[in-house]
Chain A
């Protein structure tokens, strides 16, 4: 699926302002953006439910939307799953799943298979209102898959589920889609969801694609500071680049790029935290005091206010530890940046990190 220079506005309000995006066939791509960023509109244009003002949309080699032509939703063979699921309330689960099939196939084989795939075989005769939210979403996915679509478009399908259910339905749906080998496009505002479920993430911001990358790439090498903060916790420090090393208030770190002042991205897990050693063997480490901790079971975020030389830093920095670090508020600790970091020269893109390959650019 390929989108070029897409524009769309509703009345005076411009929503999409030149979206370029290529979604690899067979991949699971997430479109990530805050609410109001235009991600749902983009999905609806893809689905053929809205027509673009300018730009082209192509599926495979077929142009489905440009200045001259608009292929309607029903001829695009794209399964669309909305946030509410939009099950037909007057039809049973079975009839919902079979809705898009030719008359002869609506009962039996294919429908039963799909219901089995989504684990709802026993509920074929139920009506939508007799299902839980997660079940409704799985029926919606089965219904979309029934017509063997070229791709499945998911519009925040998990947003209305509670956290625990969301995680399990999310991975169920991913497995179902993987097994079907279908291209999938998921719209979400939840970065955690996007990073964990997708092969590629397209971040949409102010009506444009800000970055398209694999989740790890996006997290490690966001194109700017705003994006870095949007896809996860980030310490953004002012530093000075000199050769292969950047000098930061938290000490030196390896980084590539031209010499001069830079902004430095240090992810919490790149910040190594240790108790202050009374013996004083803390050479090269920055001292600080724990401000607060936020414990999550599998990991812990420790907020530290640096002291001494780095004391001119405004606010606390955050470090991540595995498990419980047993650090009380006010504990004296030392910090050190671990590994190469990403830097941006002021008002320009990221400098290449020393150990990283060239960034994979979307076509």
Chain B
């Protein structure tokens, strides 16, 4: 076992336990499953021969795709960081009126698929096109990825540090930037990481606004059975993803959020907004209006416009049922897969474990289409095609794609149940199973539920991989919507958009509740 830097001072307080063989083995299996798509890429690229790959990569097309992708990623990530952090701070740390309502409404746009936001805007105005359109649409669609972790971290941060900063003569603003933001820095960076990776993998939204990135180009290549070209471009995309990961690791450096005086747990003091209150309220109204109101309103408008004949009730119900079933299965599988990795990383911190955890984040840098094709490829080559376009394969693809989301939730929840509490339970005469039921699960449960919901949300609105892996006679809400949307039948597409929003809104409400729960439940999280 290599030693992590923080454990250099091994005293009586730090107890290394025996090697967790089972955890290590299952975690390795999970990581292996997650990295199959990468293996596929490499095999495919290798099959094409180095010369061919180099020729495919060094084209003028690659340069323009690179420019498009990188500038969009940077601009949207920066916007999301600002919007997400400010919104989280206002909801968590100020006397914003109706903060419980805002806490829910601000998260809901996360439930709206990016391509629906895109559809909502682009079908209303031609102003939403190209780079400009992509920036607006993506920012409104993904800022909750920053909001959620930042809000959680602000809630659990040590209020003492702000007080100390004020007492050292730092003004409100200085305290905000140097202490509050400092405490939430890890969460902000984590959110930005997710935003960047999501943008690298997005397909539907950009297709609608007519903005070309690596991922849309890869889809086109795959669609025309140009597998090698797509694989070569995917390699570049993975490299971009790695750059984002490394940049994130570099930016975090060795920042550690230490919390002193663990025994006395106090609530954070709320800041008075004072005269800024009206402005802040207006800002929230605007944000929710643009991110939630426009897509929903536009869908309703098109549905009414389409009239009753456009409304295919039965197919809608079928699609909704299938979508929910796929999503629930995928969420369960992904959450289960995230458990061993989370336990390994939080309870047996080693460099290898961290590397393992990091490697799983690579998955987000891969477009859904690559994962989908990888699984098709494997099932065709090694399974005789028996799994091709079946439900298990689709669910496996979802579970792999959204594993990092599950991991975020599960890791946080595992941290709520430190080993010390389990030891306390056992020393009180309770068997492991009873401790699991009475201590660990109640503490971890809400977090697992949150992880489940995160994956459910993402899956219910997944488009790209679904288009490829969906069984023959089945349609999910997303694929049916896409079919209508592509045919410009906005009236028929709109009900599907609305149901997708509805299906995802329930879990996102649960999510909001999870992140808003009693401080007692995260009292010992450290």
Contacts and interface: CB of A to CB of B under 8 A. Distances in A.
B452 to A, nearest CB: 19
Interface stretch (A39-47, A194-202, A343-351): A39-47
A88 B439 contact: yes
B442 A90 contact: yes
13 contacts: A44-B15, A49-B426, A50-B15, A72-B426, A74-B426, A78-B427, A79-B428, A80-B423, A86-B418, A88-B439, A90-B442, A129-B523, A143-B424
B16 A86 contact: no
A80 B438 CA distance: 18
Contacts of B264: 132-133
B189 interface: no
A144 B15 contact: no
A336 B264 CA distance: 49
Interface string B505-525: 000000000000011111110
B427 A49 contact: yes
Interface stretch (B5-13, B175-183, B200-208): B5-13
A129 B265 contact: yes
Contact of A100 (B13, B16, B428, B442): B428
A141 to B, nearest CB: 12
A39 B13 CA distance: 10
Contacts of A89: 443, 520-524
A297 interface: no
Interface residues of A, number: 49
Contacts of B518: 127
B416 to A, nearest CB: 8
Contacts of A47: 423, 427
A111 B12 CA distance: 32
B428 A49 contact: no
Given A41-B15, A100-B428, A129-B265, A90 B1 contact: no
Contact of B421 (A40, A74, A86): A86
B521 A90 contact: yes
Interface stretch (B29-37, B60-68, B246-254, B429-437): B429-437
Contact of A88 (B12, B424, B431): B424
A136 interface: yes
Given A10-B15, A11-B16, A89-B521, A75 B429 contact: yes
B15 A99 contact: no
A240 B429 CA distance: 58
A120 B104 CA distance: 38
B428 A160 contact: no
Contact of A74 (B1, B429, B521): B429
Contact of B426 (A13, A40, A73, A143): A73
Interface in A34-89: 35-41, 44, 47-50, 72-80, 82, 84-89
Contacts of A76: 427
B503 to A, nearest CB: 30
B429 A77 contact: yes
A128 interface: yes
Contacts, number: 115
B54 interface: no
Contacts of A132: 263-264
A167 interface: no
B15 A80 contact: no
Nearest to B421: A86
Nearest to A43: B12
Contacts of A127: 518, 520, 523
Given A13-B10, A75-B429, A80 B523 contact: no
Interface in B397-427: 418, 420-421, 423-427
Interface string A194-232: 000000000000000000000000000000000000000
A71 to B, nearest CB: 12
Contacts of A291: none
Contacts of A133: 263-264
Given A10-B15, A11-B1, A84 B263 contact: yes
Contacts of B425: 88, 99
A46 to B, nearest CB: 10
B317 interface: no
Nearest to B261: A160
Contacts of A10: 10, 15-16
A185 to B, nearest CB: 13
Contact of B427 (A39, A50, A73): A73
Nearest to A80: B427
A11 B522 CA distance: 32
B4 interface: no
Contacts of B523: 89, 127-129
Interface string B270-313: 00000000000000000000000000000000000000000000
B75 interface: no
B421 A100 contact: no
A147 interface: yes
B524 to A, nearest CB: 5
Given A13-B10, A36-B12, A41-B12, A79 B520 contact: no
Nearest to A161: B263
Contacts of A11: 1, 3, 16
A73 B12 contact: no
B82 interface: no
Contacts of B380: none
Given A50-B15, A99-B438, A133-B264, A86 B10 contact: no
B52 interface: no
B423 A144 contact: no
Contacts of A160: 261-263
Contacts of A44: 15
Nearest to A140: B424
Contact of A86 (B420, B432, B519): B420
Interface string B470-503: 0000000000000000000000000000000000
A35 B12 CA distance: 7
Interface in A125-175: 127-130, 132-133, 136, 143-144, 146-147, 153, 160-161
Given A10-B16, A88-B424, A127-B518, 19 more contacts: A10-B15, A36-B12, A40-B11, A48-B426, A49-B423, A49-B426, A73-B427, A74-B426, A76-B427, A82-B424, A85-B263, A86-B421, A86-B424, A99-B430, A128-B265, A128-B523, A144-B428, A146-B428, A160-B263
Q: Can you list the 7 inter-chain pairs with the closest CB atoms, starting with the nearest?
A: A40-B12, A100-B428, A133-B263, A80-B427, A89-B523, A129-B265, A86-B424
